[in-house]
Amino acid sequence: MAETVLRQAPQVAGGGGGDHLTDGGFGDDGRGGGPPPGTVRRTYRTGMALALIGISMLFIAFTSAYFVRAGLSDDWVPIGLPPLLWWNAGLLLASSVTIELTRRALNQGLRSRCNTWLGLTALLGTGFLAGQFAAWRQLAERGIFLATNPSSSFFYLLTGTHAIHLFGGLVALFYIVWEAWRYRLGPAKRTLVEVTAIYWHFMDGLWIYILLLLWYGR
Amino acid sequence: MSHAAGAHAVHHAPQGFIRKYIFSMDHKVIGIQYWFLALTAVFVGMTLSLFMRLRLAWPTASIPFFGEGPMTPEAYLSLVTMHGTIMVFFVLTTAPQGGFGNYALPIQIGAADMAFPFLNMMSFWVTLLGFFVIIAAFFVTGGAPIGGWTGYPPLSAVGEAAGPGQGLGMTLWIISIAIFAVGSLLGSLNFITTTLDLRAKGMSLMRMPLTCWAWFITAILMLLSFAVLLAAGILLLLDRELGTSFFIPAGLVFSEQVLDHRGGSPLLWQHLFWFFGHPEVYIAIVPGMGVTSQILSTFSRKPVFGYHAMVYAIAAIGALGFLVWGHHMFISGMSPYSAMVFSVLTLSIGVPSAIKTFNWLGTMWGGQIRFQTPMLYSIGFVSLFVSGGLSGPFLGQASLDLYLHDTYFVVAHFHLVMGVAAIFGMFAGTAYWFPKMFGRMMSEGLGKLHFWITFVGVYAIFFPMHYLGIAGHPRRYAETSGVDYLASLQPLHEFITIAAIITISAQILFVINFFWSLRAGKKASENPWEATTLEWTVPSPPPHDNFGGKVPVVYRGAYEYSVPGVAQDYIMQTTPDNEVVKAKSK
């Protein structure tokens, strides 16, 4: 891992970022050791995996509540899902592809290609959130609000919680865009881009899951 | 995750007071911050319990701060609620894991800090914010919530109609718990990553001290359970504030008005809550088990009896903890078949618990025991864990629980096993690591005095409650003076209250000992207890990066005491085989 960084280090001026997330292990330079190179990278991947487990538990809890509430009651009226949601899903799936291309371009040190894919990912992500917002407006115009029916409560709960989490991913994405804008996105920022990509893929998969839950669990 | 990105840059010791002691990213400072938060919270919680005890012993008397005449039942219920909430979250979850875990885990595994120091700092400040929010509930219109620490709907979901404190106070309660859940999730993520990825060379999982295993398993429990509590809290908040009906059934009448909600299930809350709530019990007690194992071995000068069995037992307790939430709901009208399953699973937790107890006794058996204060508290832990744990199998059977569930028997059970046992774990941890934390020894004399009064005191308080429960005394009631069959139990209530007053007063000894020792205690050496783990290889207190620029290498397990043929009766984990000094042959 470390050798990849060395090979491609000078690609971008100031690409090391200088201040943090260097891949040099844990501890100060010249302190004569610390855990082996790659430790930071590993901790971020582990940390992200654990965060995803935590988020999964949140949605598992919502899912079990969904089935219990739907199964127990006689007041459940399914809402018609706005077709826009499927288009949004398309946007998100596409953004998963572009963030993967961003990650690969960065690893290969291809700056301009990396920037293109990165910009596109941020755009698609923003488009998804805007699309979700439009879908909520559509439902609201049909008179379907949070408290209208348990099915609509769960619709807003699941899509809203997902949107909040996705927004977190978007903040990270825009931070990366900002770093790229300032010519500070080099291979040394791989870890940041990588964990963001993992998170983004997860948000993508989570959305497909929610969509299927809302569709089949009507 | 970008917010945590800057974390690794900060490894030079910060210079200013604020960065060093207030907004610190040093795990040791954060650990001490958690510890002080818990100390503050425990005194708040204890004071609340004192007011409750006064009300129970002398129902007609005026109580300070509660106006003229007897305390109202609503005020009593708000005390019950706040005492439980503050103790469970801000004491039992805060000190054992956030406090000692933060302080000792990185040093014990040979790391310079937690994996994400910035996130670690955030965990603490988020938790502290949660504490401020719960305390704020005392001072809002209607006062503190009265729904119990379990916050059962519909009482918790319908707002002010359910009573004073169920308005803004209850809202603050939910927000506080949600904030706490977020802080705990951040913390647990950090603990697990640190344990998995930052162990020093040679520190294999099976060489870790049992304390590290306990914090590791606890962190996993927190990660899996607090997310579910957060989900439940969000649903409850939506029911209260935005008119949804997740938990509120149809046709509820409050103040002669039919509520607008319909179709919700209060039992859904109970399932979600207890799916968190039971693992939470282990979150409170498991770190104490780790500390106890560590101390019993060190002060008996013997290896932990059955190290592997201890590790598997903690893991088994943690895993089973997720399968038994239903035993809190036997009286909810669940199917007897479900109750049977939950019952069998619950009783099976007795097996790993008994393994642990047996191994603790085995560790002490035949050892050259040093009865210093950390050891006394740890033996106290084992005693209380057994006394409190033994009533578990009674409550774990649906047929017995139907009778005992809403009585003082349950109060006796959980106070002994998760309350004071865990507190004794904290006392033990404090006495054990105090020299490392502050470079001075705590007073042995004051410590022993405090131990004996507290040990006898908690038994005097909680043991008679078993009898109260079997006699049919209901819990959570402010007053039972109008009930004939309970009249004869009143002297027992008075006895318990007097015992509580004495025991609570004795806690001042602990605080005096703490602060006096901080200033005037005997200077501590690097390794005053002659223990083997890594924190005892560094100065007391340790430098900012723990090992002063050196990288520790580990050669052996954590419990090599009284190894035959070796000169010293302990071998440090960092001592290689060729440096072990052999005993002179006779």
Taking the C-alpha atoms of residue B143 and residue B156, their distance in angstroms, rounded to an integer, is: 14
For residues A21 and B8, the answer to whether their CB atoms sit within 8 Å is yes
Residue B145's nearest CA partner among B130, B134, B132, B131 is B134
The pLDDT of B171-198, averaged and rounded, is 97
Q: Among residues A18, A19, A26, which one has the least CA distance to residue A44?
A: A26
B27-248+260-579 folds as Cytochrome C Oxidase; Chain A (1.20.210)
Contact partners, residue B451, CB within 8 Å, separation at least 6: B373, B376, B377, B380, B427
Q: Is B155 on the interface with A (CB under 8 A)?
A: no
Alpha-carbon distance B200 to nearest alpha carbon in chain A (angstroms): 7
Among residues B558, B574, B291, B293, the alpha carbon closest in space to that of B434 is found at B291
Residue B474 dihedral angles phi and psi, to the nearest 5°: -70, 145
Helix axes B421-438, B490-520, angle to 10 degrees: 10
Residue B392, C-beta contacts closer than 8 angstroms, at least 6 positions apart: B346, B349, B350, B413, B417
Question: What does the mean pLDDT of chain A come to?
Answer: 84
Residue B105 has pLDDT above 90, yes or no: yes
Q: Which residue has the higher pLDDT, B216 or A72?
A: B216
The phi-psi region of residue B148 (left if phi > 0; otherwise alpha if psi is between -120 and 50; otherwise beta) is left
Cα–Cα distance measured from residue B130 to residue B240, given in angstroms and rounded to the nearest whole number: 20
Which residues fall within 8 angstroms of residue B6, CB to CB, at 6 or more apart? A19, A20, B118
Surface-to-core class of residue A67, CB atoms within 10 Å of its CB (0-12 exposed, 13-18 middle, 19+ buried) = exposed
**Measured CA distances, B381 to A151, B60, B291, B412, B455 (Å):** 49, 37, 10, 16, 9
Dihedral sign of CA atoms B150, B151, B154, B160 in order: positive
Q: Does B334 touch chain A (CB under 8 A)?
A: no
Query: Is residue B199 classed as helix, strand or coil in its secondary structure?
Result: coil
Write down the mean pLDDT value for chain B: 94
- Predicted confidence (pLDDT) at residue B389 exceeds the cutoff of 70: yes
B198, A39: Cβ pair inside 8 Å?
yes
- The DSSP-derived string for B15-28 is -SHIIIIIS---HH
- DSSP track, B277-339: HHHHHHHHHHHHHHHHHHHHHHHHTSPPTTHHHHHHHHHHHHHHTTS-GGGG-GGGT--HHHH
- As a whole number of angstroms, the distance between CA B421 and CA B382 comes to 8
Residue B523's SS3 state is strand
Please report, to the nearest 10 degrees, the dihedral formed by the alpha carbons of residues B535, B539, B543, B547 taken in order. -50
B333 interfaces chain A, CB cutoff of 8 Å: no
Q: Closest by alpha carbon to B541, among B434, B394, B456, B401?
A: B434
> Could you give the domains of chain A?
42-68+83-216 (1.20.120.80)
- Domain map (residue ranges) of chain B: 27-248+260-579
CB contact under 8 A, B268 and A199: no
Average pLDDT rounded to a whole number, residues A56-64: 97
Q: Which residue has the higher pLDDT, A17 or B204?
A: B204
Is the CB of B242 less than 8 angstroms away from the CB of A146?
yes
- In the A/B pair of chains, how many CB contacts fall below 8 A? 151
Q: How far apart are CA A200 and CA B311, in angstroms?
A: 36
Q: What is the pLDDT of residue B253?
A: 86
User: What does the block give as tokens for B580?
Assistant: 């072990």
Point out which residues pair with B257 in neighbouring strands: B254
Please give the average per-residue pLDDT across B167-194, as a whole number: 97
- Interface touch A54/B189, C-beta < 8 Å: yes
| Per-residue tokens: A73 | 């009651």
pLDDT at B12: 65
* Closest-approach residue (CA) in chain B for A192: B2
Q: Binning pLDDT at 50, 70 and 90, where does residue B448 land?
A: very high
Between CA B561 and CA B559 the distance in angstroms is 6
Write down the H helix ranges in B58-137.
73-85, 102-108, 117-136
Q: Which of B193, B228, B551 lies closest to A43 in CB terms?
A: B193
Its pTM stands at 0.93
Of B2, B197, B268, the CB nearest to A65: B268
% of chain A surpassing 90 pLDDT: 65
Using one digit for the tens of pLDDT, what is the confidence trace for B247-297? 999 888 887 888 888 888 999 999 999 999 999 999 999 999 999 999 999
- Mapped onto helix, strand or coil, the DSSP state of residue B47 is helix
Are the beta carbons of B319 and B351 closer than 8 angstroms? no
Q: What average pLDDT does range B171-180 have in this prediction? A: 97
Residue A85 has pLDDT above 80, yes or no: yes
Helix (H, G, I), strand (E, B) or coil at B202: coil
- pLDDT score for A34: 52
Integer Cα distance of B171 and B233 in angstroms: 10
- pLDDT (tens digit, 9 = 90+) per residue, A90-138? 999 999 999 999 999 998 888 899 999 999 999 999 999 999 999 999 9
Q: Residue B496 in contact with residue B461, Cβ under 8 Å? A: yes
Please report, rounded to a whole number, the percentage of residues in chain B having pLDDT higher than 70. Answer: 98
Q: For the residues B20-46, what does the mean pLDDT come to?
A: 95
Cis omega (within 30 of 0) for bond into B541? yes
The pLDDT score that the predictor gives to residue B162 is 86
Region B386-396: what's the mean pLDDT? 95
* More confident: B119 or A71: B119
The Cα B87–Cα A26 span in angstroms is 37
Six-digit token string for A186: 């080099």
Show residues of chain B in contact with A64, CB under 8 Å: 271-272
The DSSP 8-state label assigned to residue B140 in this structure reads S
Q: Kindly tell me if the per-residue pLDDT of A25 is higher than 50.
A: no
* Interface residue A74 vs chain B (CB under 8 A): yes
Q: Give yes or no for a contact between B47 and B134, defined as CB atoms under 8 angstroms apart.
A: no
Per residue in B488-534, pLDDT (tens digit) is 999 999 999 999 999 999 999 999 999 999 999 999 999 999 999 99
pLDDT, residue B159, reads 87
What local confidence, expressed as pLDDT, does residue B20 receive? 82
The kind and range of the H/E element at B254 are: strand B253-254
Task: Give A-chain residues touching B246 at CB under 8 angstroms.
Answer: 65, 69, 150, 153
pLDDT of the residue at B360: 98
d(CA B498, CA B460): 9
Q: Is the Cβ–Cβ distance between B195 and B104 less than 8 Å?
A: no
Using a CB-CB cut-off of 8 Å, the residues of chain A touching B548 are none
Residue among B422, B445, B443, B446 at smallest CA distance from B434 = B443
Q: Which residue has the higher pLDDT, A13 or B311?
A: B311
Report cis status (omega within 30 of 0) of the bond before A150: no
Reported as a pLDDT band with limits 50, 70 and 90, residue A3 is very low
Q: Is the pLDDT of residue A22 over 80?
A: no
* A62 contact residues in B (CB cutoff 8 A): 231
Give yes or no for a contact between B77 and B476, defined as CB atoms under 8 angstroms apart: yes
Backbone angles phi, psi at B550, to 5 degrees: -85, 155
Nearest to B162 by CA among B55, B35, B255: B255
Q: What is the predicted pLDDT for the residue at A11?
A: 34
pLDDT (average), residues B307-332: 96
Q: How confident is the model at residue A73 (pLDDT cuts 50, 70, 90)?
A: confident
Interface of B with A in 244-283 (CB under 8 A): 244-246, 250, 262-265, 268, 271-272, 275
Interchain contact, A54 vs B223, CB within 8 Å: yes
Confirm or reject contact between A159 and chain B (CB < 8 A).
no
Residues 1-30 of A with CB under 8 A from B: 19-21, 26-28
So what's the pLDDT on residue B98? 96
Closest listed residue to residue B210, CA positions, set B427, B531, B440, B547:
B531
- Contacts of residue A189, Cβ cutoff 8 Å, sequence gap at least 6: A15, A17, A21, A106, A176, A179
Report the range of poorest mean pLDDT among A104-113, B95-104, B142-151, B466-475: A104-113
DSSP assignment of B404-450: HTTBHHHHHHHIIIIIIHHHHHHHHHHHHHHHHHHSBPPPHHHHHHH
With an 8 Å Cβ cutoff, are A26 and B8 in contact?
A: yes
| Among B235, B237, B228, B125, CA closest to B174 | B237
Q: Is A137 on the interface with B (CB under 8 A)?
A: no
Q: Is the pLDDT of residue A58 over 80?
A: yes
Out of B6, B263, B549, the one facing A75 most closely (by C-beta) is B263
Q: Is the dihedral of CA B290, B292, B295, B298 positive or negative?
A: negative
Residue B407 three-state SS: strand
Q: Please identify among residues 91-120 of chain A the ones whose CB lies closer than 8 Å to any CB of chain B.
A: none
Of A53-67, A99-113, A192-206, which gets the smallest average pLDDT?
A99-113
Place of tokens 């801000």: B90
3-state class of A6 per DSSP? helix
Compute the CA torsion angle B271, B272, B278, B280 (nearest 10 deg): -170
Taking 3-state DSSP, the helix, strand and coil percentages for chain A, each rounded to the nearest 5, stand at: 75, 0, 25
CB of B3 closer than 8 Å to CB of B118? yes
- Position B371, amino acid: F
Q: Is A51 close to B115, i.e. CB distance below 8 A?
A: no
**Average pLDDT for residues B131-143, to the nearest whole number?**
95
Q: CB-based contact (8 Å) between A199 and chain B?
A: yes
Contact B238 A54 (CB under 8 A): no
Which secondary structure element, helix H or strand E, spans residue B258, and what is its range?
Answer: strand B257-258
pLDDT at position B263: 86
Q: How far apart are CA B350 and CA B97, in angstroms?
A: 23
ipTM above 0.85, yes or no: yes
Of A27, A43, A55, the CB nearest to B112: A27
CA distance B291 to B311: 13
Least confident of A34-43, B69-78, B157-166, B448-457: A34-43
- Model pLDDT, residue B2: 35
Q: Is the pLDDT of residue A161 over 70?
A: yes
H or E stretch covering A208: helix A190-216
Candidates B1, B111, B272; nearest CB to A195: B1
Cβ contacts of A79 within 8 Å, gap of 6 or more: A139, A144, A149, A151, A152, A155
* Residues B106-132 pLDDT 10s: 999 999 999 999 999 999 999 999 999
pLDDT value of position B22: 86
Angle between helices B490-520 and B444-470 (to 10 degrees): 160
Lookup result for tokens 């649906």? B398
Nearest residue in chain A measured CA to CA from B114: A43
Distance from CA of B454 to the nearest CA of A (A): 39
Strands B253-254 and B257-258, by their bridges, are antiparallel
Is A72 near chain B, with CB under 8 Å?
Answer: yes
Q: What is the mean pLDDT of residues B148-175?
A: 92
